[in-house]
A and B are shown apart, each in its own frame.
Chain A
Amino acid sequence: MSVASYFETMEYGPAPEADGEARAWLARHDATFGHFIAGKFTAPHAGKHLTTSEPATGKTLARIAQGDATDVEAAVSAARTAQAAWAKLGGHGRARHLYALARMLQRHARLFAVLEAIDNGKPIRETRDLDVPLAARHFLYHAGWAQLQDREFADQVPIGVIGQIIPWNFPLLMLAWKIAPALAAGNTVVLKPAEFTSLTALLFAELSAEAGLPPGVLNVVTGDGATGALLVESPGVDKIAFTGSTEVGRLIRQKTAGTGKSLTLELGGKSPFIVFDDADIDGAVEGVVDAIWFNQGQVCCAGSRLLLQEGIAETFRRRLIRRMETLRVGMPLDKAIDMGAVVAPVQLERIKSLVETGVKEGAEKYQASGALLSEGCFYPPTLLWNVHPSSTVATEEIFGPVLVAMTFRTPDEAVMLANNTRYGLAASVWSETIGLALDIAPKLLAGVVWVNATNLFDASVGFGGYRESGFGREGGREGMYEYLKPKAWSGRKARAKASPLPTASGASAGFDVPPIDRTAKLFVGGKQVRPDGNYSRAVLSPKGRRLGEAGEGNRKDIRNAVAAARSAEGWARATAHNRAQILYYLAENLSARGDEFARRIADMTGVSAAKARAEVDASIGRLFSYGAWADKFEGTIHAPPLRGVALAMHEPIGVVGVVCTDEAPLLGFISLVAPLVAMGNRVVAVPSERHPLAATDFYQVLETSDVPGGVVNIVTGDRDELVKVLAEHDDVDALWAFGSQDASTAAERYSIGNLKRTLVDHGLALDWYDKAASEGPILLRHAVQVKNIWIPYGD
């Protein structure tokens, strides 16, 4: 091509970014890497390596170490050794280190960008303009939290050693999202990058050491899934933070169940991209490009389900297809492309086969007509039109440049279709009517909602999902809490083994007039109902005196209670003022019957009258506290770098199972139920197995306090049986299991079906009278999930 011929054709021509520096770095290491442990590269213990290749050409790029148990333990032990000193360094000291890491990334920005593009296949534009600057921003932002930690997180301490497993789609950015908050909070890290894309993590580790990060603070162990599994199972790891597939997330949840390890999972998605008929259609078409043809569609929050209002569907299709024709797919280092290569042949095959399935199931396929490079893993931008909610491609995450489209008629139907998914990571809403857009955004069950935008990220705005998209948040204040634990909980002691149940003594009081029999039923949907099995269990005093009978709830009772809780959805929309009033009213009505409750507690537990009275008073106080919090535990307004705001809204999680302790049968019950109810959740509570009558007496308090039916449901019975039913129920969104190690383990292990959020005590007894440990934000934070709604504005 000459100047003259370009002058005629006006083609773009090649515009390659130089890769000399990145290749030189590989050559310096003979393209062979060990693990990075305790501040230096360490050869793998078993001497085994994996090869990693360039997706755009298929050529081998380097050999990375395959980590085995010895390697993982060496890394964990290096992290453990470093952790105390790292925590002791203090917020300012760590802030300096994080600042240095941010500067290091900026200093070597182009090297990281080029290496990432080569290794992953994504366009240099993205690594240069998004991945690397966002990673640097993340370190800078978290340097700030480290600096402010003493003041802003004074009641928290670091968790310890964190095992982090990151995916291949944003290797460096996910590294930043994981390690910046962990290190800022005073933890040390063992990071396992994805086997396809480990190189930037190794470069980062090497340059971090040069930038003065102390040995052992950040360790990188490479390898395949087996190495990741070893890290998950390592007893020396206090927390696992994982980003990747929902399938692997489930395995991790299962493996860590009952171990006491805390867990953050950032998993898949099938995020809706909703366009109303009053949207800027060309703007929305461009939004689609950023939603699904960003990073070859290999984005967990990709807007992959296009929902179009019927009236504009045809116009939108036409304009989208025209736009697809102008997309350029090419070599990652070409500076004039929109899309690069898919990460690996196995992914390419998966995409191809899912698209075939989609077509077989009736979709019309449109693909950009431009020729693809013949070698390497390339797949064209693809639109599947006329897809129905029931087709495979509408429900399965494709994780490629494939958009599926369907239509809706009304805003309600848009919300219904958008939420008709197991996932809940992100959503995008397009409308030029502010009332409509801001009405729809909170109704979408997703952790991030973009209004007239898509795929915007910032370190100050938390990111993370609802439902099977995982739990925990990355970024923002909420992201810091994922790497901290409350000081008030660190002194908890293992619960003493419960004394054996007393033997029931003879009940007859001779020929005295007996008290009128009171057999407690269950409380479901605002009504007292007989247990499904129609069995009941005796409730005995410590001396074996029969105090009454409580219903023996079974799985069907739980099913009914969950259904009642689900249909009480209106509670989530009730005003905070209204919820506050009802909590105060509960306190008022409990207070009116305080003596009766105190007697009941004393009878059941054998405590003194004064102690029992104190429990009732504490319970009244607690209801008051949550009445107070109901309209004060609010979200925040973030100011990310754009003209606009991000609203971090506290939303109820939904239907929450609550399993209560035998200690403080009334106060424990109130302490767990009240924060959930205050935040708009609906509860299915299993009260103390041994002393259930305080909770069953509470039915009447609930009935007289204007609590809408279904908001609080109470099922008495066998704790271990009911916790498993709750954990396995896919319409329960979260489960709080207190009272025993077994209940904790069961809650975690059996909750993998819908990956519900769990809060458990691991058999450690909480002092319900200690407000610092059992009241306020310490529990409220678990009673909400943060939804970030991005609202760029301007006209």
Chain B
Amino acid sequence: MTQSVFIQNPSPLAVQSPSPGGEHVHSLPRNSGRALEMDWVDDIRINLSAAERRVASLPGRRTVKKDAQAAWLLKAVTCIDLTTLNGDDTAERVKRLCAKAKAPVRGDVMEKLGFAGRALHTGAVCVYHRFVGAAVEALDGSGIPVAAVSTGFPAGLVPHELKLKEIEASVRDGAQEIDIVITREHVLTGDWRALYAEVQDFRAVCDNAHLKTILATGDLKTLRNVAKASMVCMMAGADFIKTSTGKEGVNATLPVTLAMLRMIRLYQERTGYKIGFKPAGGISTAKDVLTYQFLMKEELGRDWLEPDLFRIGASSLLADIERQLEHHVTGHYSAFNRHPVG
């Protein structure tokens, strides 16, 4: 394999329904990384209060209603990394999740939305290494990539060599995306060279699988740390930067998202590469996800609303979106039990 998974598996809808206004075929050049530039880290300034004001006012400035809202929510579905990361996971549980990933929204609802016959699926299925094989098998032919959390997820404190071996094993089993966790100590002690070296190593063993770097922003505490870690990870070759494991005390938040998106924009300005973003943990309602989408579109642009640049790590979000979509087509409020579980 020499090309990225994204080139092999472009967004299915973009292929199937070209739009008159120009279709979104995502054959993005992959971030090659670059030498660590300490100025790019030291220059970073981010003011928490200002960031908070921006994200606080955004939901008042942007909203979508009716058909537009249904479309945005459906788009969100295509960006979900449907996830199970629990100690009691089994192969069967993972297969059930894969089935949901292939048919995330009930057929009759899809039909009423004008999407009859269109194969729409989630962005990926995200599991521990142990279940990569089961998921790959279950998703065979669907075009849905399997993402494996790796490198001693969630704390990331296993020996570095084992982390590399874990990545290699997942890639071998067919994972097309690797969600690694960084060593938070490197950030908390300001050892940016160590962080850079670590992520660069991860990237090297990922081969063609895409590298998503989880910053565990809840552990990093300050937006400054988050922004600097984002920049270092991108320089080291990350394809995505991701907020959280879902296991920290605080997971994805809007201010943290804003800080990371600004770094993505800056990195693109400087290198031309478009880096993806994945918030994870805590996004559980349709209303929440819309705000994230607004932020993506406003801060980065239209391209970042598609699954090759935007993923949402979530387990219960899909159920709420399904209810909202049913409400949109029927006019009455829906219930969870009316939608098949994953």
Q: Which residues of A are interface residues toward B (Cβ below 8 A)?
A: 1-15, 125, 128-129, 278-284, 286-287, 290, 326, 328, 335-338, 432, 452-453, 642-644, 792-795
The answer to whether residues A795 and B222 also contact, given A10-B302, A280-B46 and a CB cut-off of 8 A, is yes
Minimum C-beta distance from B267 to chain A (A): 13
Q: Is the CB of A795 within 8 A of B50?
A: no
Q: Is the CB of A13 within 8 A of B70?
A: no
For window 19-68 of chain B, which residues contact chain A by CB distance below 8 Å?
Answer: 19-21, 23-24, 45-54, 57, 60-68
Complex contacts, A278 vs chain B, CB 8 Å: 45
Contact of A10 among B71, B115, B223 (CB under 8 A): B71
* Nearest-neighbor residue (CB-CB) of B302 within chain A: A10
Minimum C-beta distance from B274 to chain A (A): 15
Complex contacts, A795 vs chain B, CB 8 Å: 48, 222-224
Q: Is the CB of B68 within 8 A of A1?
A: yes
Complex contacts, A12 vs chain B, CB 8 Å: 62-64, 68
Complex contacts, A4 vs chain B, CB 8 Å: 17, 71, 113-115
The answer to whether residues A15 and B60 also contact, given A3-B71, A283-B50 and a CB cut-off of 8 A, is no
* Nearest-neighbor residue (CB-CB) of A643 within chain B: B49
Contact of A280 among B45, B52, B60, B298 (CB under 8 A): B45
Interface size in chain B (residues, C-beta < 8 A): 44
Contact of A7 among B48, B65, B74 (CB under 8 A): B74
Complex contacts, B302 vs chain A, CB 8 Å: 10
Bound Cα distance A14, B66 (Å): 9
Q: Is the CB of A13 within 8 A of B65?
A: yes
Complex contacts, B298 vs chain A, CB 8 Å: 326
Bound Cα distance A284, B53 (Å): 11
Minimum C-beta distance from B227 to chain A (A): 10
Bound Cα distance A14, B68 (Å): 9
> Inter-chain contact count A-B, CB under 8 Å?
119
Bound Cα distance A211, B314 (Å): 49
* Nearest-neighbor residue (CB-CB) of B262 within chain A: A282
Sampled A-B contacts (21; CB under 8 Å): A1-B68, A3-B113, A3-B115, A6-B70, A7-B75, A8-B23, A9-B19, A10-B72, A11-B68, A125-B57, A125-B60, A129-B57, A280-B47, A283-B46, A283-B47, A283-B50, A336-B64, A338-B61, A432-B45, A452-B49, A794-B52
Minimum C-beta distance from B19 to chain A (A): 3
Minimum C-beta distance from A514 to chain B (A): 75
Q: Does B305 contact A (CB under 8 A)?
A: yes
Contact of A2 among B63, B67, B222 (CB under 8 A): B67
Bound Cα distance A2, B20 (Å): 13
Bound Cα distance A128, B61 (Å): 11
Q: Is the CB of B63 within 8 A of A279?
A: no
B-side interface mostly: helix
Bound Cα distance A283, B20 (Å): 36
Complex contacts, B75 vs chain A, CB 8 Å: 7, 10
The answer to whether residues A13 and B49 also contact, given A7-B13, A326-B298 and a CB cut-off of 8 A, is no
Complex contacts, B69 vs chain A, CB 8 Å: 13
Complex contacts, B21 vs chain A, CB 8 Å: 8-9
Complex contacts, A280 vs chain B, CB 8 Å: 45-47, 50-51
Complex contacts, B50 vs chain A, CB 8 Å: 280, 283-284, 286-287, 452-453, 792
Minimum C-beta distance from A131 to chain B (A): 13
Q: Is the CB of B49 within 8 A of A335?
A: no
Complex contacts, B61 vs chain A, CB 8 Å: 125, 328, 336-338
Q: Does B247 contact A (CB under 8 A)?
A: no
Complex contacts, A9 vs chain B, CB 8 Å: 19, 21
Complex contacts, A452 vs chain B, CB 8 Å: 47, 49-50
Q: Is the CB of A453 within 8 A of B60?
A: no
The answer to whether residues A8 and B45 also contact, given A3-B70, A13-B68, A337-B61 and a CB cut-off of 8 A, is no
Q: Is the CB of B48 within 8 A of A336?
A: no
* Nearest-neighbor residue (CB-CB) of B325 within chain A: A3
Q: Does B297 contact A (CB under 8 A)?
A: yes
Bound Cα distance A335, B209 (Å): 41
Bound Cα distance A328, B46 (Å): 25
Bound Cα distance A164, B70 (Å): 49
* Nearest-neighbor residue (CB-CB) of B78 within chain A: A7
Contact of A5 among B19, B48, B66, B297 (CB under 8 A): B19
